[in-house]
């Protein structure tokens, strides 16, 4: 399972790098000066995909490890098809007749993860703790991870518009391939560090 998750993460990182390569090869042009957003939007797409690659890694590990977690971790996850994690009645449990406990736990975890997002490093740290990853071993990558998450939020929710309200190219925040490449390296290092902490 770990090898499969690692391979998928590597594939996703390659997809992000490919977008940066497309920009550098076909869109960056020659000479100095700021490129228009019609060209740099491919870099913004790379940031969104980079964040998605991070979430996919975390969620994949959670699908694998959370059903095996201790009771105090599972108590924060609601029973499938019920509301927030809390006590539930036998009536709610009756919908799961014929299933073993492991199956009900797995279904509940899967339902919970379908609605999960990781938009800041606090949420990432909480998930890592729940699956047994010591946060202190990987949080040296949190600064770059936080930058990626913050920029992805601006791109997805504000179309990366500049708060200064500039004209022309300056109405959208500047972004360059070097910054995105640095973020890719940081996220890849984070993912590798997390996977190194996961036992088969």
Q: Residue 133's pLDDT is what?
A: 96
Q: How far is CA 45 from CA 27, 57, 103, 142, in A?
A: 14, 18, 38, 21
Q: What is the mean pLDDT of each run of 10 residues along the chain (200 residues)?
A: 97 98 86 73 97 97 87 75 55 56 72 82 95 96 97 95 66 93 98 94
Q: Residue 90's pLDDT is what?
A: 46
Where do the structural domains in the chain lie, given as residue ranges? 2-196
Residue-wise over 129-156: b if at least 16 C-beta within 10 A, else e?
ebbebebeebbebbebbebbbebbebbe
Q: Residue 145's pLDDT is what?
A: 97
* Distance from C-alpha of 59 to C-alpha of 62, rounded to nearest angstrom: 5
Q: Which residues pair with 161 in a beta bridge?
A: 172
């Amino acid at each position: 399972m770990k090898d499969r998750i690692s391979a998928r993460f590597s594939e996703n990182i390659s997809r992000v790098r490919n977008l940066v390569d497309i920009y550098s090869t076909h869109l960056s042009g020659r000479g100095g000066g700021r490129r228009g957003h019609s060209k740099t939007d491919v870099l913004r797409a790379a940031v969104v995909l980079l964040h998605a690659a991070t979430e996919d890694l975390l969620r994949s590990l959670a699908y694998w490890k959370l059903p095996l977690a201790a009771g105090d971790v599972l108590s924060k996850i609601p029973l499938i098809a019920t509301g927030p994690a809390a006590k539930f009645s036998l009536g709610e449990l009756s919908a799961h007749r014929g299933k073993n406990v492991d199956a009900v736990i797995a279904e509940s975890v899967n339902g919970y993860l379908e609605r999960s997002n990781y938009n800041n490093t606090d949420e990432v740290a909480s998930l890592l703790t729940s699956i047994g990853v010591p946060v202190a071993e990987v949080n040296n990558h949190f600064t770059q991870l936080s930058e990626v998450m913050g920029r992805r939020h601006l791109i997805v929710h504000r179309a990366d518009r500049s708060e200064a309200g500039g004209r022309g190219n300056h109405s959208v925040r500047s972004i360059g391939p070097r910054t995105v490449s640095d973020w890719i390296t940081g996220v890849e290092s984070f993912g590798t560090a997390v996977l190194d902490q996961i036992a088969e």
